[in-house]
Structure 1
Amino acid sequence: MSSAPLLQIVPADRHAEPPEQVFERAADIFRLMSTPVRLKIISSLCAGEKNVSEILAEIDTTQPNLSQHLNVLYRAEILARERRGNQVFYRIHNHGVVALCRTLCGMLSADQQHARTP
């Protein structure tokens, strides 16, 4: 008896194999999101655009560390940024990745609450 794959991506043509690039890109996104600080940044920016100081006020990290993570998310095109005077403002650019994060974090939160219920 064969078991079903844990992850099955169904392409538009149901008989075609998904391109290797789909799995590679998915792995890249999961690697990017594997750092709690990055998930916290995304969560913070879901409420709207913020400058670095506003994000730093919400996340317990140093300014250089925050800037490094913001830059990684910007280069990956998950965030967009705009300089206004001497401040840089960040906002969500890739809403699909945000939806993925919300789904996963929501699922984990529900699982944790369910585990606490007697």
Structure 2
Amino acid sequence: MAKRQVAVAEANGVETDEVFEMAAEVFRVMSAPMRLKIISRLCNGEKNVSQLLEEIDTTQPNMSQHLNTLYQAGVIGRRREGVQIFYRIINDRVVTLCRAVCTQIAIESDMKG
């Protein structure tokens, strides 16, 4: 990392190693396209697995695995209603990050095409 970036981070009281470790974990969790699709669908509100499967082409076991990863990372929350489990976004910062990156990629893609 450039000296200026380190100086800015330290001047702002940021523990750079800790921040970078946390950022790396966020990017690891968000590195799967399926998880980005799930987050995108949950931005419109809470959904259960069946509703997500209607909107996203994947198997139920694959969907459950990705939902569990997002849940364990603190990106989504869940609640049980009878036999159904409903999922919702609980970490708006991750949503903001995903939207910013995906929007920028879409803009750049449109400019090329």
Q: Same fold (TM over 0.5)?
A: yes
- d(CA) in 2 for partners of 1:43, 1:21: 28
- Does residue 32 of the first structure (1) align with residue 29 of the second (2)? yes
- d(CA) in 1 for partners of 2:20, 2:74: 18
Could you say if the C-alpha distance between residues 83 and 110 of structure 1 is closer, same or farther in structure 2, counting changes exceeding 3 Å? Answer: same
Residue 56 of structure 1 corresponds to 53
Cα deviation code 1:49-76 (max 9, x no counterpart): 0011001111111000000100010011
Could you say if the C-alpha distance between residues 17 and 45 of structure 1 is closer, same or farther in structure 2, counting changes exceeding 3 Å? Answer: closer
Residue 69 of structure 2 corresponds to 72
Residue 44 of structure 2 corresponds to 47
- 3-state SS of the aligned residue for 2:11? coil
TM-score, normalised by the number of residues in structure 1: 0.86
Aligned length: 110
- d(CA) in 2 for partners of 1:17, 1:113: 36
> Runs of 5+ in structure 2 lacking a partner?
none
Residue 95 of structure 1 corresponds to 92
Identity of aligned residues (%): 53
User: Which has a greater percent of helix?
Assistant: 2
TM-score, normalised by the number of residues in structure 2: 0.90
Letter in 2 for 1:92: I
Q: CA RMSD in A?
A: 1.8
Cα deviation code 1:50-109 (max 9, x no counterpart): 011001111111000000100010011100000000000000000000000000000000
- d(CA) in 1 for partners of 2:35, 2:81: 23
> Runs of 5+ in structure 1 lacking a partner?
none
